[in-house]
Structure 1
Amino acid sequence: MNRREFCRSIAAGAALAACGGCDQTGGTLGRLQSVWSRRGLVDGRLWRPRAMDVDADGLVYIVDFTARIQVFTPEGEFVRGWQTPDYKNGKPTGVTIADDRLLVADTHYFRVLSYALDGTLMEDETIGGTEGHGPGEFGFVTDAVRDASGAMYVAEYGDYDRIQKFAPDGEFILQWGSHGVEPGQFVRPQNLFVDPQDRIWVCDACNHRMQVFDTEGELLFMWGEEGAAPGQLSYPYDIAMDESGNVILIEHGGNRLQVFTEQGEPLGWWGRAGRAEGELDRPWALARDHKGLVHVLDTYNHRVQTITI
């Protein structure tokens, strides 16, 4: 079993057991607003959805295990959809909306695809496509984001576990990170987030922690420890932030959403393991819209749960 498979097996086991020691009320915050979609292959249904983001109008963009990208209203009504160019080798695991583009982490093709929000593939904006450890080459890409200057940051795992930075025109600038548990190292950097101060937040998933860097890759601070108790983390997979700077995390292994101050002080949680409304099964992602709605991608329940915090 290689490192990637080991990490996945641990996450799957944790997903079934992590809430055994949690308060079974399902959390201390969050109000469920709606539950939408269900398992299926037709338009409007989901099959193990893996990543999501929202645009300025509140439309929700989701990629699932069939390599479909689907767009929904905040209430879950299907708007449009399309398929990524290739998917026999594997499916995308990350999407981010930046500068009127949908950036898709085409994980097993070692690249970042760029789409107009109507689904038009901008082929001249694709970054990567070659497996390797050189500048502009990638392992398994998990996410891509842009800072205020338009520079792009791309996370990858596999043999590399690093972040690469590119200029707005796609030219390689720098990289940082390696595989490991020391500060500045990663074990599956799953998702990225750029805050209003242009700090780069990294969900260091298999190290069960958050690491925060400046735009030159210098580590500013980090927090998090493995566990199922409130304030501990079990495979943090995605991140959002509210207007107060509070950090909202989804835990793939913990089957819950947690909210922290930016310094890592816990403020509360929502969710627990299960299939009923308000329960989660190995969630991969979340997205917060301009109205404060938080959409949670309940992956193995093949649905979205929308809450307010």
Structure 2
Amino acid sequence: MTDPASDAVHGRHLRGPVSGPIGRRAWLVGVGAAFAAGCLRDAPPVSEGASLARLDKVWGVHGIAGERMHKPRAMAIGPDDRLYLVDFTARILVYDTDGEFLQSWQTPDSKSGRPTGLTFDPVANELLVADTHYYRVLAYTPDGVLKEDRTVGGVNGKAPGEFGFVTDAVRDSAGCLYVSEYGDNDRVQKFSPQGEFLTQWGSHGTDELQFKRPQNLLVDPQDRVWVCDACNHRLKAFSPDGELLFSWGVEGSGPGELYYPYDMVMDPAGDLYVVEYGNHRVQKFTQAGESLGVWGEQGSGPGQLWSPWALVLDSLGRLHVLDTQNHRVQRVIV
């Protein structure tokens, strides 16, 4: 499967930081871009919904060196609210929540492709990197030192412990590791804290127990494993052993509908914020799938998004949205 971020049309980028609230409602009113890659199809017509948030800050400069970013495609938040991004140059970029650049480093290999998933594990105090096209999960210290003994995978295949294209990796409260893959496998594998294979579930397809690009994982306070089943336009939740608990989502662009959900985060109240790559917006849901509002519209101005890939919540409850094709981050108050 071709990576959608490699072929999607580019939006214009903001050349300097912009901050301040936006006093208008931001609706997704149309999707004019045509996408020719992966499982992405032209977006359906868009309907309006309840307002979700207001813009607080926009920052990011397009480029391939230093603090500049080029098509950032995953994001995690770590100690002291540091933001970790990985962009299309396979660099891990670290900023504070105001966009002040702190440091960067390069992943070991990138000729075959770039990482598409980041998670910070606060218990192990390490950044997990889904090194997608090298079929493995890398682990780094918060300051960018590769922990080679913590690498999981590295072999392409369908057997337990082997991987297809890795999209994300998360740990539960017991330290068990869950890894999602797309391609021929389209599954989730579970490993012990010591890296031993425990179980797996899922396959490629559209049935209730199948996936088409499980792009992002989330382990909630109850150790349920949530999956963004991106190309099936739905979210699913599983027990730690892979029993399906929830499955909801309808393809579309109206309130309560989804179009390529790529990432999600859960707030302290238990509600879910979902970023939709195909709808260029963020939508908030209850755990039962009831829409509580939307934010964003297609474009390149402040408060607009172009093919966003990821989002995180900081310690102050502010939402940071990775505006991929605009090469920037937008912070909103929800």
Aligned position for 1:287: 312
Aligned mates of 1:300, 1:146 — CA distance in 2: 29
Aligned position for 2:61: 38
Deviation >6 Å, runs of 4+:
3-8
Query: Does structure 1 residue 253 correspond to structure 2 residue 243?
Result: no
Aligned position for 2:328: 303
CA contact (8 A) 1:11 1:235 kept: no
Shift of 1:42: 2.1
Aligned position for 1:182: 207
| Aligned equivalent of 2:77, options 54, 70, 73 | 54
Aligned mates of 2:261, 2:140 — CA distance in 1: 27
Q: 1:32 to 1:191 in 2, by over 3 A?
A: same
| Greater helix content | 1
Aligned position for 2:234: 209
Instruction: Render the CA deviation track for 1:197-251: whole Å, top value 9, x for unaligned.
Output: 1000000000000010000000011110100101100000000011110000000
SS class of match (1:267): strand
Query: Does structure 1 residue 134 correspond to structure 2 residue 159?
Result: yes
Query: Does structure 1 residue 227 correspond to structure 2 residue 255?
Result: no
CA contact (8 A) 2:50 2:292 kept: no
Query: Does structure 1 residue 64 correspond to structure 2 residue 81?
Result: no
Aligned mates of 1:12, 1:198 — CA distance in 2: 31
Shift of 1:11: 5.9
Q: Which runs of 5+ in 1 are unaligned?
A: none
CA contact (8 A) 1:27 1:272 kept: no
Query: Does structure 1 residue 74 correspond to structure 2 residue 102?
Result: no
Q: In the alignment, residue 219 of structure 1 is paired with which amino acid? A: L
Cα RMSD over matched residues? 1.7
Aligned position for 1:165: 190
Query: Does structure 1 residue 9 correspond to structure 2 residue 37?
Result: yes
Aligned mates of 1:96, 1:107 — CA distance in 2: 14
Structure 1 length normalisation: TM-score? 0.95
Aligned position for 1:107: 132
Q: Which runs of 5+ in 2 are unaligned?
A: 8-34
Report the number of matched residues: 303
Shift of 1:13: 4.8
| Aligned equivalent of 2:116, options 79, 87, 93 | 93
Q: 1:159 to 1:240 in 2, by over 3 A?
A: same
CA contact (8 A) 2:3 2:38 kept: no
Q: 1:236 to 1:299 in 2, by over 3 A?
A: same
Q: In the alignment, residue 143 of structure 1 is paired with which amino acid? A: D
Structure 2 length normalisation: TM-score? 0.88
Instruction: Render the CA deviation track for 1:61-95: whole Å, top value 9, x for unaligned.
Output: 00000000010000000001100000000000000
Aligned mates of 1:165, 1:225 — CA distance in 2: 28
| Aligned equivalent of 2:267, options 238, 242, 251 | 242
CA contact (8 A) 2:2 2:37 kept: no
Aligned position for 1:267: 292
Q: 1:8 to 1:207 in 2, by over 3 A?
A: farther
Aligned mates of 2:214, 2:71 — CA distance in 1: 20
SS class of match (1:21): coil
Shift of 1:56: 3.2
Structure 1 vs Structure 2: percent identity of aligned residues? 55
